[in-house]
Amino acid sequence: MKYLVYGMLGLFVFVGVQNAFAGEGDTSETSLNAGVTWTDGNSDTLRANAGIEFEGRREALGAIRAGAEGNYGYSRVDGERDRDTDNASAFFNARKTITERTFASLNSTFLYDGQAGIDYRFVVGPNVGTFLVKQERTELSVEVGPSYLWEKVDDQTDDFFVVRFAQRFDHRLSDTARIWQEAEYLPKSDDFEDYLLNSEVGVSASLTERTSLRMVLQSRYDSTPAADKERHDITVITGVSVTL
């Protein structure tokens, strides 16, 4: 049931955003990403990743990025199967241009991570930002604003204000290859030593007109994790992306 709820959440985000950019003259792209690693014999393991992302621009609405993904994995030792990867996430970011270089935005993220003891973590809030670089192939932006966080970690619920500092870099190396990098720092508003630090670095290159090979490194750091859990989680994902 838990996976169904989180999957439906991501689907609703995708469908709603895609419909908002259904008009003529709008630019948008939807991609489906997937990757699987499986071994059998001396080792018995499975790692699977699936996700969907949407990026679009509309003159009257601005720019929107949204998506959802899930990761699952297990290993079998001496006949006992141990689930060692179990998480799902979704994000939504809408930008409205103020001037050529500045913008207002609304950002929200959702995370479930069974291995980290996170039943849910939901963050939403407004931001203001500016483009430090804005060229045809390259964009570098920063944004900041207040957000509110709700979470259930280690069977304990909590909610509080955080301050969101974020940065995103996107560069098209060519018509068939691009790299991107983003990071966000989310300290508790009344205690900057209690914070979350999330980042991602990725590269993709076209294989055909609609398919691309992609590699992504994701990092999540929680200064106050659940009991007996590590502060830092790193995930490397390789797979294929299909433009719908």
* Mean pLDDT value across residues 6-35: 63
What pLDDT, on the 0 to 100 scale, is given for residue 80? 73
Q: What is the pLDDT of residue 87?
A: 92
pLDDT at 63: 87
**Dihedral, CA of residue 222, residue 228, residue 229 and residue 230, to nearest 10:** 80
How far, in Å, CA of 191 to CA of 189, rounded? 6
pLDDT digits (tens, 9 = 90+) for 116-175: 999 999 999 999 999 999 999 999 999 999 999 999 999 999 999 999 999 999 999 998
pTM of the predicted protein model:
0.86
**Three-state DSSP string of the chain:** CHHHHHHHHHHHHHHHHHHHCCCCCCEEEEEEEEEEEEECCCCEEEEEEEEEEEEEEECCCEEEEEEEEEEEEEEEECCEEEEEEEEEEEEEEEEEECCCCEEEEEEEEEEEECCCCEEEEEEEEEEEEEEEEECCCEEEEEEEEEEEEEEEECCEEEEEEEEEEEEEEEEEEECCEEEEEEEEEEEECCEEEEEEEEEEEEEEEECCCCEEEEEEEEEEEECCCCCCCCCEEEEEEEEEEEEC
How confident is the model at residue 57, as a pLDDT?
Answer: 80
Please check the confidence at residue 19 and state whether its pLDDT lies above 70.
no
Sequence-distant (6+) residues with CB within 8 A of 206 are 176, 177, 212
Digit-coded pLDDT (tens) for 158-214: 999 999 999 999 999 998 999 999 999 999 999 999 999 999 999 999 999 999 999
> Considering its fold, how many domains does the chain have in total?
1
Residue 4 has what pLDDT?
A: 43
Q: What is the pLDDT of residue 153?
A: 95
pLDDT at 2 over 60: no
pLDDT tens-digit map of 74-99: 887 666 777 888 999 999 999 998 88
The more confident residue out of 205 and 41 is 205
d(CA 31, CA 72): 20
- What range defines the domain where residue 24 resides? 2-243
Q: Assign residue 152 the CATH number of its domain.
A: 2.40.160.40
Confidence of residue 1 (pLDDT cuts 50, 70, 90): very low
Count of CB atoms within 10 A of residue 62's CB? 15
